[in-house]
Structure 1
Amino acid sequence: MVSGQHTLPSWYYTSVDAMPKHGTVSSLSHNRWRTQMAFSKSVYSFEVKEDTVPGTVVGKVETVFESPTPITYSVQEDDGENLFLLSPVSGEFLLSRSLDFEAQRFYILTVAVQQGDLQVSSVRVYFSVLNVNDNPPLFSQDTFYASLLEDTRVGSCFLSLNVSDKDDSDNGELKLKLVDGDEGTVFFINSAGSLCLNKELDRERQSSYNLTVAANDCVQPMSSQLTSTAHVIVVVNDVNDNAPLFVSAKSVSIPEDTALHSVVMTVHAEDEDTGPNGEVLYYLNSTSSGAFSIDNRGGDVYLEETLDREQVDTLTITITATDRGSPRMATTMNLTVHVEDANDHDPVFSQSTYSLTVREDIPRGTSLFLVQAHDQDTGPNGRVRYMMTQASPFVVDAVRGVITVMDKLDREKDSNYTLSITVVDQGDIPRSATAAISVTVLDINDFAPQFSPETLIVRVMENEEDPSQLKHQLSALDEDLGVNSQLTYFIQKGNSDGLFSITPNGTFQILHSLDREKESLYIVMVIAVDSGLPPLTGTLTVHVMVDDINDNHPEFTEEVYNTIVSEDTPTGTVFAMITASDSDEGVSGELRYFMENPDVPFAIEETSGELFTTEVLDRETVAIYRLTVIGSDKHPTQPLSSSVIVTVLIGDINDHWPQFMNSPYVAYVPTEMAPDECLKVRCQNGGTCIPTQDGYYCHCVPGFEGEKCEQFIDHCRSTPCVQGSCINSQTGFSCHCPFGVSGVHCEEHSYGFEELSFMEFPSLDRRTNLISLEFATVQRNSMLLYNPGGSSSREFLALEILNGAVHLSYDLGSGPVRLQTNKQVADGYFHSITARRIGNMGSLHVDNCTDVENNGFCFSQSDGSSSERTLDIGNSNMTFGGLRTAEFILLHPAQIKTHDFVGCVRNFHVNGILLRPSMALATYNILDRCPRTTVSPCHGNPCKNGGVCHDLWSDYLCECKSPFIGSNCAKETSEEVVLQFNGNDYIEYVIKESFKRDYLLKDLLDDEKEENNKDQTMINIKFKTKDNGVLMFLTGQTGYFVLKIKDRKPVYLSKDTLSGHLSEFTVDSPVADGVWHVLSLFSNGHVTFLALDGKPVLNITDRSMDLTPVSVEKIVLGAALTGDSKVQQSGFTGCMQYFNVTGYTLPVSGHSVTVDIWPSWTLIQSSCISPGVCLPSPCSEIDTARRGCLSGQCQNRW
């Protein structure tokens, strides 16, 4: 346009800034078009997303008229700086680069169309950029910090979280939330974006929080939302809201001689607060400040006054622990101080001097007198021991103070003793006292009369007409004086026929004539008795030997001799022996023979009495001879003789031809003869038919009888086997005897010995012991026979089985002799033993072994080297099969190694006398019959499923392999073995006497045991519970203790029954939490402590008690069976998996070598869900249907 006026532009471009968003708005001023409209639209408007990819067609302009010539599109005005490229031909717009809604939201272009060089028309084109959510929220900082007092009020807001988003509209709306670090929902974010407190704070529980806050926009769908996070550190500042708590022990023990100003204990309290709020100061209560003081900061308690346990043995201090907060908080604790004894007192005798009189014949081992000393101290300081410093026949019991005679007294040597006895306490630095004892020995009649020599030989001729004239004066010597040496003589034995006499003054004479042939030697025992009280005797053995005279005629062995000799016997043939005897001695008893018949063809040998022929004999001439033979002794002056008739028959020989006496002979035969019956009869069973005049008879073989031997002879018809079964045979019968019975007719039975059985008989002979018996056992260590001496005697004799072999031991005063065989006899079969002791010679035979080559296997003998020959055991009884009490073990610990026999015995002889239980002085647990029916109850394999059978002699025990249980291991269970208690259940264990004796023997014989390992006892209980209750109760000789749960914690409570002192200790670890725990108690006599789950938690050494089997009497699991009201508490409610005492898992039923088991009746139930499972598992509160199911057949696990 050409004009004289100013030419105005057709478009005006304006840039406008808008806050908070930044962009550019283009505005074009439109002038009136002077050309005809050529575009299809007057205005084009396009929307383009800001994330459109460059190169994309985003719009198109078109014309509405047709042109014969080409048209061209061009951009006249463009505020997008070629952001949109226009195709000059097609009119399409292409995006040349990326858009940004946040930088510019709108674009305006002017597009013209030309036809040739002529511009036809132009049009406005508007591009609107559509927003896309492409900017995440942005926090003002990555980490925010805040601090709060722990008592800040709930709902308080304490931190503003600044966050922004560049996106517009919904894309810029934000939401805040906590995504981490706030598991307890302690905080929340309000609508204003501030962090606020949702719950109360506790700095002691958590002192800081590390929170994560997330901000996200509100674009839909949610998957398109963008999120950013920031961290918030919240520190909780302390306020004084916790009082100090004492964590140190509430009791302490100190010696009474503790030095002044010494630290007796350091108390410690902990305060969970921090800074001054957690700083603890300690103060003593004013009533406690005299004897003790305390370091306010360190907690050290000092002793300020001298202690004296004998006046006050327990002190209580009240200690206050306070913090330095505002306001201050405090806690008090009562500290109990036990004053331990110090050895500050000497022992004191009840009197300074003692005097006593004793007879010189008092037996060795006799207790004479009890001296007593008292020490005011306690424990080892108060335990005293007595001793003597000089050698004397007396000893003192170190513990009891009993004065005992140990050697024989002799008033003639020492009539008075002055003893010095010292008592010493057991303190580290012992204190002692001394007293004097005067002992006067009273004279007694202690010398017995003695004959010298002790044997006298008196000779007398038999048939002496007046033997009383032959007197012998006997004399014995008594070293006593006065009436104790005045003797009277008596004949003690050997004068049953009244042939001898002795006067009171000792004249011995023969009253009647004696016959040597009736008795050639008389042994007469003469005793000399003194007049003392009691009287003593001496013995003389008088051998009266009767000398022979010729007063007996010879006596032939037969009254008449009948003999035969053949007529053709050669001359000199001996055909008979004529013998006689004479009771006289010497030549008076020597015989010679001769005949009174002079003219006979016979002669007799003078010395031997042989008859022989002197001529050839002819029976047809003389068929018989009658001879008179005389036997005479050879006495030189007055021989005596006897005669006897000898008839000699001459035997015929075939020396003549036969001659008929008649000729002819006539015989008559009956018309009928009886037939041979044996041709018709058949004897049975091997019998033989023999014809007889009356018919026949059958001669039967042994075992058959009857007319035709058809009956079998029943030799058992008369029941010949007394206690066994009879087995018949052709030749007789035999008896099959049951186990323990013997003899041809099973008439000999054996006796049964149960646990702790014994028989007592009078003591063994001093000089000779011949012991024989038969026995059967499976016990490899057994006491067969034992005869000890008195309490002070070392002499004894014992027959034992050790490690399955027989041992004989004895001591005659010069040391023990021990004979040992190696043949194993503890196999359940009967074995025989013969033990001999004659003087100092001993031998041992097992099963009739006599072969010297077997020496050491089944035969053993001593060499007889001992100088002593008699067993001087006094009046102590001989015990067989066991001991009456354990006192024998304590009195003579080195003599025997066993104490009991379980088995069967028969044919028990001592010195030829059969000893039966009815003859015993005392018996216990002896059965009339052997209880065992077979060699072994395990031979039939009663234990199933791989179970191991243990022979208990009269019964058996099966040790089952998992998972099998029951008396024969026949029942299977897959359940874990645990036991459940309901508060009323318990199991009582009583320690067996046999186990106590076993332990005592082992303890005494184990010389290699070290002191620090001695008598160790460990008790373990594995349990779980949620309630209080008693776990275990143990009572012994000196007191008892209880392990229980109180206030959910383990408690050890003990009482000394001698002093009445009751102690209670608590473990500060809860166990009533429903999980498994193991509580252990360890003691070795000196140190005792508790452990929980393998960690030591409590030292209770000061209150230790003896837990060895010898001292423990009873253990109760699950309850406290005592009448003491101070320890009464409900029983245990919960589960126990095992209860172990020193390596032994105590069973809940069945057999045990250690204890007798007595479960409460409530624990034994009749039904279980799982058959055969005696101990239910799992153990739970809902498992009430199976609670406590305990089968009587269930066995323990060893």
Structure 2
Amino acid sequence: MELKFKFSPATMDQISILMFIGKSGMHDGTSDHMAVSFVKGFIMLTWNLGAGPRRIFTSRPIEKDKEEYLVKLGRSERRAWLAVEGLGNVTGRSKGKFVQLDVVPMLYLGGYDSLYFSTLPHDLPLHTGFEGCIFDVELKAGSVVIPLQSSRHALGRAIGQCGISECHENSCQNGGICLHHASTFSCLCQDGWFGPLCSLQYNPCDETRHNCSSGSVCVPYEDTYECNCPFGKTGKFCQNNNELTDITFSGKRSFLSLIAVDLIPTKFDIQFELRPLSEMGLVLYIGSNGKSFFSLSIQSGFLELRTLPANRIQTTKEVLILRSRKLLAKGNWYNVRVGQFGRKLYVAVENITNTVLLERNDHLKLSGDLIFLGGLADMSELPTVAVATLPIPYTGCLRRLKIDTKPIDFNFSTVKISQNVDDCDGTPCGGDYCKNNGICWLDSQLKPHCSCTKFYGGSRCENPVSCQEKGCRNGGKCVNYGCNCVMGFSGAFCETATKVTTPEFMGNSYIILKKIDKKRDLGKIGVKSLYINFTTADKNGLIFWGSKHENFVGIGIEGGHLKLAYTIKNGNRTIIEIPETESLADGIWHTLEISFGKTNLLVKIDGKIVLSQNQSNFVADLFDLSDGVLYLGGLPTEKNETIWQKTHNMFHAYFKGCIKAFGINNILAVTDFSHYDGSNIGICNVI
């Protein structure tokens, strides 16, 4: 490998980084890396292949006042060399026997992205970022020469165009002093002059001159001003008081943040409708100090999710990136769903879903963080790796937000702070105003009202009528003022017919199996083996239960691992837990196979044997379920009875997740559950 570049220092009195390539995270005395340093005119090359650092450097400093300097460096196994134009060639060999440089493919020029360079190797000099220009960077691998500046995507901060100062002659007017800040500038005005360029003899945001209403913020421009409006205020001067339902973001310093929501660490779901008016922009951001974040943006018309797990460092290589396949046309509404289910992260647009898997040791730490919509108060605080390009606020509309199925209204109880947001359709009757299929209408004063269905009341149809008053439909039972619906029906009063092919269990659900198919009654079948195909992100839950008199068999998850509990004819209870396996509460579909032989118990997970155990007291047809009833996901309980009591103190919780298939005695017989009885069963929409 060979690398060459040119540089021009702004000052000789600096100790700084010219180039660095290394590993992720904190570097120690054995971390592989390669670095070029500028040490008050001397050029130093440091490299470490894992056995300790080696340094070589020029014999004298570079000549002053040259326009540019050429640096060449390379490495072959343990040997490395450094050549600086006019100063000759220096070579050396690294310590130890290692010959490979094991680093991430990220080349840093002029600085590093950790705070105060604190994660860099301690064998490097105490560095600052380089002051000056670096250009014409080329990498040579074998016979291939790659001009890096023109062929690779680049990230950085505080970078300006070399040789050009933003402080040209006419930047600041009327004696103002120009302060150069890399790619921009600011003006320090003389007394009596105001404005970004010191061109005004008055401050346009003086409280005696601007018309921004109380609570808004005046923003000065070169010869005018604009008003930043707080939540609920709209208009040029923020003079209007509006109740907002469908939110529109102007894209000009606009954003909205919700009061912190407690998200379940391994499972959360965010749904909303989106109407973009631009091809770029930040839609959603959850994060704290960039240590872990969840960032959704539009990039060239496609939604892109970028996530940084809490155990990773903030580099492009460590960020998980997922793009949707659905192109968003400007001006159209789209149903969007993003979130996490176990190890799965997903983005769904109009039911077109894309997923990516977290590593097993990855975890997001987002609970308690603010949720930002449309942008941030200061877009420069967005981590550089949270979006693919420059951080741009979202322009367009957003409505019907739900977090973990709970509708979120935009009002003063849910919004912590916002700026420059307005109503999308310009009328009080937005898509979010009336809830639960209520119809919005305007009176002669243009005030909104809702006509509710018979199942809901309240000014916005937000309150379900008590089932004790209306009763539950289609065989549903009224429990604690809400309806528990039988299989095949849903809704607040079980009024909506649904066909459940693959069932979702909600944590208070169960399915009753009396027949394996139309011909075979479970009461006539002895259970010799079981097959279950399931997925869950919850660490505890009862998956299967069968019993007769005092005998029972229960299969579930406890602490993320498989648990099997049973009694046989002698009444002795046996509990088998298999903690050695990877967690099953990871959102991935798993197959579970259990065979009950005369003297042997065999358990397979995803085709792999995890338990083979001799049981001398087994008998043929271990569970002779002559009453012919099996349960999936839970089982019915009496009033004030818990699942813990019902399962003889074996399982703490109902199952939450989906079951795709169930079989008995090596017969995969049930893949369509629509003909079975059950309670509180939903349609599986697990990604």
Is this a same-fold pair by TM over 0.5?
A: no
Query: Which structure has more RCO (C-alpha within 8 Å, separation ≥ 6)?
Result: 2
Larger Rg belongs to: 1
